[in-house]
Structure 1
């Protein structure tokens, strides 16, 4: 005897409602079609499952004995079907990512479209922050992953380098003229935009004892990369950014001149050492690495060779 999932569902719905018109509505069938299907099911079993009256139905003794078994079988079949659908659809869940604008508007932007197509049931939450805030969020488990330069409490973090980007100045070549290599005299005359104290750029310059820190002090302080690029496009200032920042789509047409002697920032993938990453986070890491390989970045950006995880601020 071969019982189908459809037959079990018809029987269970009728047995739970004990009203053919309501059961037919729930099953999206006409009442005559439902009656015929029940009769065929009873004929196949060789027993009568329902007592019928003009308005209602009730279970026979055989129907009462079959009901709990049918409910259990139906539940198991639906559970198996659901698991099969989930496997076919891929992983599901959510992942929280804290990231800076430069990486977010370049590599991450290129990663998310194929990632969403491959993992439609994964919800990604992206928080735009500077490196100090990214580090804090990952350290305090407010984000599953962080992409930036580790600053602050890194004791609990594993950090994998993703790319290296020299720091330089970004300007509109038609409005502000610069010659490479940069000289102290040229930098002294530039309307430099000031980096906030807690950014990776400011930290890297301070760590190297760069005189650029003092030269930026009197400039307009701008915390947003988007605003820095807008000011540079308007000739209202010269932005101090990394080559990754110079890769931003809004930097098109601007000229990037690296500092001499070189100062470099490294961008890391950060995660908590004591937390096991869920499949959605692991899948996003894979998508980010693939996007990084094919991303259109400034020629001065160097992809990092995979190495042992470390956590170190700029030195």
Structure 2
């Protein structure tokens, strides 16, 4: 049996009005179309539902017994449809995002604050995870998207470039050592050669951002030197503030750096672009929440130092 809601609505209209003509008007069908629906329904049920004469349409015993069943089925379907509509709206306005701790601590707080103020109906859940976990989380559907730098698009993944940002040099405002801070690091833009003989603090050598930085440092003969490293952005910046050295980092750390007594300068000669990507699973639909969030996230990235070329 494969009775449709349309057939049930037509059946109940005829049962209530006892007229095919008036029922057809109510359900917005022609009389012929309504009669066809009822005949198909009777065939599917193996049951005659109406006794028809030229003047009247009356329910058979089987038809009378079907009325409360049909009414209950339509009520239940209406309830289910309402819940599905609500679920669809909830899904469209909800988002789960994965990002590395570096991104979560420096960019996400501002983005989520802006969204809460401008789009309070959008609900974003953020998971700060190790970079090695991101692809599996996206492919499994545990998160809707991931955000980060220098992502590669693996099988089944969709990669969307958001923006390219430069590297910056983070240096202490005051060096607690003889001679003070090198003046060349206090400018808004500094070259890689300005880092000569400046002690550097970095991220772990396995970090993709640090690997990109080391490519430039290698040209200066500094890629393999012993240096202090930390896993987390705030640890690096705090050590810079304390005067233990300078650090080369992505431009989006500027927001986090504002809480420390440090100076931020854009690295030039050459500028090294860092591509910022959003990763999602191929074949998935981009929801309203995802579009709104990405717009807010990209807008925040534009607030940081930008490439000049």
Scaled by the length of structure 2, what TM-score is found? 0.59
What's the counterpart of residue 75 of structure 1?
A: 76
Pairing partner for 1:265 from 266, 274, 297: 274
Partners of 1:116 and 1:183 lie apart in 2 by 39
Tell me: CA distance 1:90–1:163, structure 2 relative to 1, closer, same or farther (3 Å).
same
Note closer, same or farther for the CA distance 1:209–1:196 as it changes in structure 2 (3 Å cut): same
CA RMSD of aligned residues (A): 3.9
8 A Cα contact 1:202 1:213, kept in partner:
no
CA shift for structure 1 position 217: 3.3
Picking from 283, 288, 307, the partner of 2:289 is 283
Distance 1:243 1:253 in 2: 17
When the two structures are superposed, what TM-score results if normalisation uses the length of structure 1?
A: 0.58
Could you tell me how far 1:112 is from its partner in structure 2?
2.6
| SS of alignment partner, residue 214 of structure 1 | coil
For residues 167 and 226 of structure 1, what CA distance do their matches in structure 2 show? 17
Question: How many equivalent pairs are there?
Answer: 235
- 2: CA distance between counterparts of 1:187 and 1:83? 59
- List runs of 5+ in structure 1 lacking aligned partners: 1-63, 304-315
The alignment status of 1:297 with 2:303, answered yes or no, reads yes
Asked if the contact 1:138–1:145 (Cα under 8 Å) also holds between the matched residues in 2, the reply is yes
Moved over 6 A (4+): none
**1:84-140 per-position Cα deviation (integer Å, ceiling 9, x unaligned):** 6557x654586432213454345433333465674758562422434x554565467
Give the corresponding residue for 2:144.
144
Change over 3 Å in CA distance of 1:65–1:136 after alignment to 2? closer
1:217-272 deviations in Å (ceiling 9; x for gaps): 31111111121112122223322202122332555542123153322211111223
The equivalent position to 1:247 in structure 2, one of 255, 265, 272, is: 255
1:197 and 2:199 aligned: no
Seen in structure 2, the aligned counterparts of structure 1 residues 158 and 66 have a Cα distance that, compared at 3 Å, is closer
Of the three residues 216, 231, 234, the one matched with 1:226 is 234
Gaps of 5+ in 2: 1-64
